[in-house]
A = this chain, B = another copy of it.
Amino acid sequence: MATMADVARRAGVSAKTVSNVLSGYPYIRESTRERVLTAIDELGYELNVTARILRSGRSGVIGLAVPELGQPYFGELADEVLAAARRHDLQVLIEPTGFTRDGELEALREPRRRLVDGLVFSPAALDQGDAHVLENLGYPLVLLGEQIFSSRVDHVTMHNVEGARAATDLLLDVGRRRIALVGMLHAPTAGSARLRFQGYREALEARGLSVDERLLGWADDGWHRANGARAMAAVLDGVGQVDGVVALNDALAIGAMYELQVRGLSIPRDVAVVGFDDIEDARYSVPALTTIDPGRREIAEVAVDLLRRRLDERTGPGEPTRPPVLHVADLRLIERESTPPRVP
Contact = CB atoms under 8 A, between A and B. Distances in A.
Nearest to A74: B75
Interface stretch (A7-15, A46-54, A144-152, A191-199): A46-54
Contact of A93 (B50, B92, B254): B92
A105 to B, nearest CB: 14
B286 A258 contact: yes
B114 A50 contact: yes
A50 B254 contact: no
B286 A225 contact: no
B225 A70 contact: no
A226 B50 CA distance: 42
Given A54-B50, A78-B69, A79-B68, A283 B226 contact: yes
Contact of A255 (B72, B82, B284): B284
Specify which of A94, A112, A113, A138 lies most central, judged by the most chain B CB atoms within 10 Å of its CB: A94
Contact of A257 (B70, B112, B286): B286
Oligomer copy total: 2
A226 B284 contact: yes
A339 interface: no
Contact of A79 (B70, B255, B281): B70
Contacts of A290: none
A50 B114 CA distance: 7
Contacts of A53: 50
A340 interface: no
Nearest to A48: B114
Contacts of A70: 72, 75-76, 78-79, 280
A168 interface: no
A257 B281 CA distance: 13
Given A1-B138, A70-B72, A79-B96, 9 more contacts: A46-B109, A69-B79, A70-B280, A91-B115, A92-B94, A94-B94, A225-B280, A258-B286, A258-B288
20 contacts: A1-B138, A46-B113, A49-B113, A49-B115, A50-B53, A50-B115, A51-B54, A59-B115, A61-B115, A70-B72, A70-B79, A71-B75, A72-B75, A78-B94, A91-B115, A225-B284, A226-B283, A258-B285, A261-B286, A285-B286
Interface pairs A-B: 7 shortest CB-CB: A75-B75, A225-B284, A70-B76, A69-B75, A70-B79, A49-B113, A50-B53
